[in-house]
Structure 1
Amino acid sequence: MGADMKADYGSTPSVDRLIIRCGWLALFLLVLTPDASALQSGPFAGNLLSTPQQQQQPQEEEEEIKPSRPGVANPAEIPKPGVLQLEFGYDSNFRAEDVRDGHSTPLTLRFSAAKRLLLEVNFDGFKSETDELTRARSTGVGDTRVGFQFVALEDNEQHPALAFAYYAKIPTADENKGLGTGRFDHKFVGLLSKKLGETDLDFNVAYLLVGKEGEPGREHGGQGALSISRDFKNNFGFEAELSGQSHDDIQPRGVFALGALRYNASRRLSFDAGARFGLN
């Protein structure tokens, strides 16, 4: 990536947390894979994974992936049952309020357990932050987020797609290093999506219930995001997003504008890159 990322994994607690999370992910895959292979209504369509039987299916029958990155807003609709989607990325933040620079490598698993139910696990396998005042740098693993999304209405001529989601943050990041708050956070999301011709419009609004950092109690906040995206016939696409939130979530608090480009190598694999700018 060209970035200087020298992680210090000499700390036993950090290594232990990473091993534990890898174990949970392995268990997650072992539990879900038999169900995915039994379902014939949709492919086992992780970005990189497929079975020989599914590779023989005509391309028009394969389900397109529905990425949840690089923006904040997610689509209300989900892939067909049995689709397992793997997302891996690299995020950098510069000149935030308390952090001079931050880097992370998020990994996300999204599994369509049913026609209207999506399960999700997300964590930062590597996280690095440099304090704005002291210039001290801390490295380790980040927090873990688990959640689900339920589709209430599908998109049609009468109304947009409507879904509801819940996510819980599990404090697996090292609080002593300043990589996390050490508190459980909760996020309740309402999602609207509408396809207008070849353009996709996604709107998310969320209620945030976060633990206070360094003291007991909780704080209440909100988050909103509006995203417009479109794919072209040359396999390229773009996304533009405006988002804002009152408390730190996956992204820091503030109001941001995002521009991103996407390349769809196939219906099972896509690449994206974008830049987010603070507006306040």
Structure 2
Amino acid sequence: MTPTTLLCLSLALLTTTCVGQDQISLNPTRPTIANAATIQDKGVLQVETGYDAYPDNPPGNQQTVDTNLTFAALEKLRLDLTWSAFNHEHDDSGTTNGIGTITLGGKYVLHKEDYHRPAPGVAFQYELELPTASQTDLNNLGQQFTVLINHHYGKQGDLDIIANGSIVQANCQQKCNYGGQQSFAVSYHLQAQTRLYAEVFGQNVSQSNTPPGTYVFTGFYRQVSSFFGFDGGLRFGVSNHSSTYGTTIGLVFGKRMYPESAKN
């Protein structure tokens, strides 16, 4: 079964059974690079798909269509499966098109956030990248370990401060490259269903959908219902070797896999 076929089946499963379901809490990982130290409700399957493009030199034209499946197996544990359904790279060495690598991992919430307490939420995330791409130039073997921190401020928790830091090991099928990724984001709830984002992030090892460099980002997330939302935004490179600009747009779907009475 191809990744595209699996995505279509997942979306069909999520969208055909939403009517009459209980309300669920989605926790999108997009549009920012920074990720909150929270997960969706226990028992909820979440599917995100998005398009990311960095069309300007340096370092070259890079475009990806990524898909992310997450399942909250426990109240504090989320299991992740991510792949690049399509990956396009063009630089001085040539052009490469194909399916990108698959990433397996998960997130564990060490300390759950409480709006009424000063201590932030803390979580750890691990990702193992497997060399399963359709083109040799797109294959990669590596791993990433991330610490995630966030806290909401204000009477209604409208302002969310998010900080991430990670260690990256990449290209290990040849010789491992080591690097890191740091990100700081601010989210403001313009309405109950709409969030605005601002972010600064940097990395010195290329990720599946982001070239190396330092960037600033502005974007939004709109939750249409408890089962569906969409996001987007623009990134601008501010370091010498980063891509001049980039754009992202995505969709998120959610479905509870067993009755709400079985959550606890």
TM-score normalized by the length of structure 1:
0.75
For residues 16 and 123 of structure 2, what CA distance do their matches in structure 1 show? 27
Pair 1:115 & 2:75 matched: yes
**Structure 1 residues 219-241: Cα deviation after superposition (integer angstroms, max 9, x where no partner):** 22111111111222273321111
Structure-2 residue corresponding to 1:91: 52
Gaps of 5+ in 1: 1-18, 30-45
Do the aligned partners of 1:203 and 1:227 also contact (CA within 8 Å) in 2?
A: yes
List structure 1 runs of 4+ shifted beyond 3 angstroms: 19-27, 46-52
Letter in 1 for 2:73: A
For residues 190 and 223 of structure 1, what CA distance do their matches in structure 2 show? 11
- 1:230 counterpart (176, 180, 188): 188
Describe how 1:193-204 pairs up with structure 2 within 5 A: 193-197=150-154, 198-204=158-164
How many aligned positions are there?
Answer: 231
Which structure is larger by alpha-carbon Rg, 1 or 2? 1
For residues 279 and 244 of structure 1, what CA distance do their matches in structure 2 show? 10
Structure-2 residue corresponding to 1:103: 63
CA RMSD of aligned residues (A): 2.5
SS of corresponding position for 1:142? coil
Query: How much has 1:98 moved relative to structure 2?
Result: 3.6
Gaps of 5+ in 2: 240-264
Structure-2 residue corresponding to 1:160: 120
SS of corresponding position for 2:151? strand
Describe how 1:121-140 pairs up with structure 2 within 5 A: 121-131=81-91, 133=92, 136-140=94-98
CA shift in 2, pair 1:219/1:93, >3 Å: same
Describe how 1:61-76 pairs up with structure 2 within 5 A: 62-76=23-37
Describe how 1:1-280 pairs up with structure 2 within 5 A: 19=1, 21=3, 48=15, 50=17, 55=20, 57=22, 62-99=23-60, 101-131=61-91, 133=92, 136-156=94-114, 157-176=117-136, 178=137, 180=138, 182-197=139-154, 198-211=158-171, 216-233=174-191, 235-250=193-208, 251-280=210-239
**Structure 1 residues 58-113: Cα deviation after superposition (integer angstroms, max 9, x where no partner):** xxxx23211111211111011121111111111111224442x1222111111111
CA shift in 2, pair 1:172/1:75, >3 Å: same
Do the aligned partners of 2:84 and 2:100 also contact (CA within 8 Å) in 1?
A: yes
Query: How much has 1:56 moved relative to structure 2?
Result: 5.1
For residues 201 and 77 of structure 1, what CA distance do their matches in structure 2 show? 13
Do the aligned partners of 2:97 and 2:135 also contact (CA within 8 Å) in 1?
A: no
CA shift in 2, pair 1:184/1:218, >3 Å: same
% identical equivalent positions: 26
**Structure 1 residues 204-255: Cα deviation after superposition (integer angstroms, max 9, x where no partner):** 1001112258xx3312211111111122227332111110111112321111
Between Structure 1 and Structure 2, the one with more strand by share is 2
Between Structure 1 and Structure 2, the one with more helix by share is 1
CA shift in 2, pair 1:234/1:63, >3 Å: closer
Do the aligned partners of 1:96 and 1:252 also contact (CA within 8 Å) in 2?
A: no
